[in-house]
Amino acid sequence: MAFQQVARRIDELADECVNFLVRICSIPAIGPESQGTGEMEKYRVIRDAVLTMAPDLVQEIHAPDDRVPDGTRPNLLAIFNGKETSRTFWILSHIDVVPPGERSLWDHDPFEPKIHEGFVSGRGVEDNGQAVVASIFAARAVRETVGFGLNVGLALVSDEESGSKFGLDHILKTRPDIFRPEDLIVVPDAGNKDGDHIEVAEKHLLHIRFRVKGIQGHASRPDLTRNTLRAASYLIVELDRALPAAFAEANPFFNPPVSTFEPTRKDANVPNVNTIPGEDVFFFDCRILPEVQVSRVIGEMQSVSRAIEEKFGVQVSAEEYLRSESSAATPSDSPVVVALAQAVQEVYGVQARPTGIGGQTVATFFRKNGLPAAVWEKILNTAHAPNERISVENLVGNAKVFAKMMI
């Protein structure tokens, strides 16, 4: 009966949820690694919404960063006391977003979110605006109706999209006592359209920067140059062939079940057409099964690079840009997984099952600190894409799942 009361209150707040999502996603919150100015403007709006609910404990654990105008990357922890005080149910969401990408692929300005026929589109509405809003309004609905059954903590953090050095990683290093092993920790930062996946395991994450150096010169005299664009192109093709073949292991617990090796970013070389470039830089994004050693992957990359050096007379370096090896999985029978599955069953009528994912979420920092965490959302899987969008139905439903766990 108590949950039905909370669910009705969330339904009453649905329009307000949508309007708040539009408001916060109208504010770019892009990190300096992606030529952004950080999260502070968006953070202030979110913080004010949380403080309006009068949390029993508020901690702002900001991380200094002189690359952004405010000189700091903001992180907020807010705790609401419940009837049971021996543990806390945490929901951690991130407030930063990725850049929009190619603007011509969007139907509208990415930072002018649109509401249309039950959907909201705009940069950051799914990753991670839906989670931010669902967690805040779930807490509000519970607070305004039946009250919290156990302590509830809202963690709203920066820098998830660029490695979490200024976000959760900073919090855990600064205040390692905040989160406890007995707490229930949910990170709504990955999911699927049916809401029946609870992510408990992740792959290793490896970003590699390849730098190809040759000899720049006039395009009419290729005999006097070493064309790095051609060498880099061959290198990408060879890596694309060699890496999946060398690391073909499969693990059906993960989706996708194999290690993946994707060429992604390509930095600009020469600005004019009639110059052969003397340097080319590109990146690979690798998501590697936990049973595969990252050092083996790097060794294979170096072997392929040596062959390209010999073929084209260039120099190739493979530099680690980001390396985060996966942590031990959250046990499938842990209290947070069990409680989350029960809440999903009641709200959505589906049996959620533990699984692994190809990506790596901010939950890995919890797991590396011995803190079991579960990653779940019901989403459309449009993160990072043009016309990123969410459904209002999922926004409201996810808030109900969180509220169910809160009471």
Tokens of 26: 């109208």
Exposed/middle/buried for residue 123 (C-beta within 10 Å: 0-12, 13-18, 19+) = buried
CA nearest neighbour of 170 among 39, 55, 46: 39
Q: What is the pTM of this model?
A: 0.87
CA nearest neighbour of 78 among 96, 52, 97: 52
Indicate if the alpha-carbon torsion angle 242, 33, 321, 60 is positive or negative. negative
Model confidence pLDDT, tens digit, residues 238-252: 999 999 999 999 999
CA distances from 223 to 216, 226, 235, 394 (A): 11, 8, 21, 60
Looking at the predicted structure, is the pLDDT value of residue 388 above 80?
yes
- Any idea what the Cα angle at residue 388 is, between residues 384 and 394, rounded to 5°? 115
Looking at the predicted structure, is the pLDDT value of residue 71 above 80?
yes
Rounded to whole angstroms, the Cα distance separating 87 from 363 reads 18
Q: Which residues have CB under 8 Å from 271's CB, separation 6+?
A: none
Pair 122, 113: CB distance under 8 Å: yes
Beta bridge partners of 114: 121
Instruction: Tell me the mean pLDDT in the region 391-402.
Output: 98
Beta bridge partners of 260: 287
Give me the amino acid identity at 205.
L
Instruction: Tell me the mean pLDDT in the region 127-132.
Output: 97
CA distances from 147 to 6, 143, 153 (A): 9, 5, 14
Looking at the predicted structure, is the pLDDT value of residue 352 above 80?
yes
- Any idea what the Cα angle at residue 243 is, between residues 240 and 245, rounded to 5°? 100
Rounded to whole angstroms, the Cα distance separating 203 from 185 reads 20
Q: Which of 39, 96, 183, 388 is catalytic?
A: 96
What is the H or E stretch that residue 382 is in?
A: none
* pLDDT (0 to 100) of residue 1: 78
Known catalytic membership, residue 96: yes
Pair 344, 401: CB distance under 8 Å: yes
* pLDDT (0 to 100) of residue 284: 98
Looking at the predicted structure, is the pLDDT value of residue 138 above 80?
yes
Instruction: Tell me the mean pLDDT in the region 136-156.
Output: 98
Tokens of 78: 């807010």
Looking at the predicted structure, is the pLDDT value of residue 4 above 80?
yes
Domains and CATH numbers, the chain: 2-202+326-406 (3.40.630.10), 204-324 (3.30.70.360)
Rounded to whole angstroms, the Cα distance separating 287 from 206 reads 7
Q: Any idea which residue has 């799914």 for tokens?
A: 126
Looking at the predicted structure, is the pLDDT value of residue 359 above 80?
no
* pLDDT (0 to 100) of residue 48: 98
CA 164 to chain centre: 9
Count of residues for the chain? 407
Q: Which of 160, 161, 169, 196 is catalytic?
A: 160
Instruction: Tell me the mean pLDDT in the region 69-90.
Output: 96
Instruction: Tell me the mean pLDDT in the region 182-189.
Output: 97
> Percentage of the chain surpassing pLDDT 90?
97
Instruction: Tell me the mean pLDDT in the region 105-131.
Output: 98
pLDDT band at 360 (very low <50, low <70, confident <90, very high): confident
Looking at the predicted structure, is the pLDDT value of residue 33 above 90?
yes
Instruction: Tell me the mean pLDDT in the region 115-134.
Output: 98
Pair 203, 360: CB distance under 8 Å: yes
**Helices (runs of H) and strands (runs of E) counted in the chain:** 10, 20
Looking at the predicted structure, is the pLDDT value of residue 34 above 90?
yes
Instruction: Tell me the mean pLDDT in the region 367-380.
Output: 97
* pLDDT (0 to 100) of residue 301: 98
CA nearest neighbour of 79 among 45, 48, 51: 51
Looking at the predicted structure, is the pLDDT value of residue 318 above 90?
yes
> For all residues of the chain together, what is the average pLDDT?
97
Instruction: Tell me the mean pLDDT in the region 192-197.
Output: 96
* pLDDT (0 to 100) of residue 311: 98
Longest dimension (CA), the chain: 81
* pLDDT (0 to 100) of residue 14: 98
